[in-house]
Amino acid sequence: MAATVATTRVGLAPNDVGARRTILLAFVALLLVTLLDVSTDGRLGAVFSVGFVLTAVTVPLAIDVRSLLPAGVLPPILLVVCVGLAAALSPDAVEVAGLPEGTGWFGRTLTGTIDRGVTLLVGHGLALLTIVARILLDPHHPRRTRRMR
pLDDT above 90: percentage of residues in the chain: 58
pLDDT of residue 14: 58
What's the confidence (pLDDT) of residue 95? 86
Give residue-wise pLDDT tens across range 67-77.
Answer: 889 999 999 99
**Does the pLDDT value for residue 65 go beyond 90?**
no
Q: Which amino acid is at 81?
A: V
Q: What is the pLDDT of residue 50?
A: 96
Q: Which of 122, 149, 114 has its CA nearest to residue 54?
A: 122
Query: pLDDT tens digit string along 83-131?
Result: 999 999 998 888 888 888 888 899 999 999 999 999 999 999 999 999 9
Using CA atoms, how far apart are residues 102 and 140, in angstroms rounded to an integer? 54
Confidence (pLDDT) at 96: 87
Which 3-state string (H, E, C) describes 11-44? CCCCCCECHHHHHHHHHHHHHHHHHHHHHHHCCC
In this prediction, residue 78 carries a pLDDT of 96
Average pLDDT over residues 35-60: 94
d(CA 37, CA 98) in angstroms, rounded, equals 22
Query: Between vectors from CA 79 to CA 76 and to CA 85, what angle results, nearest 5°?
Result: 135
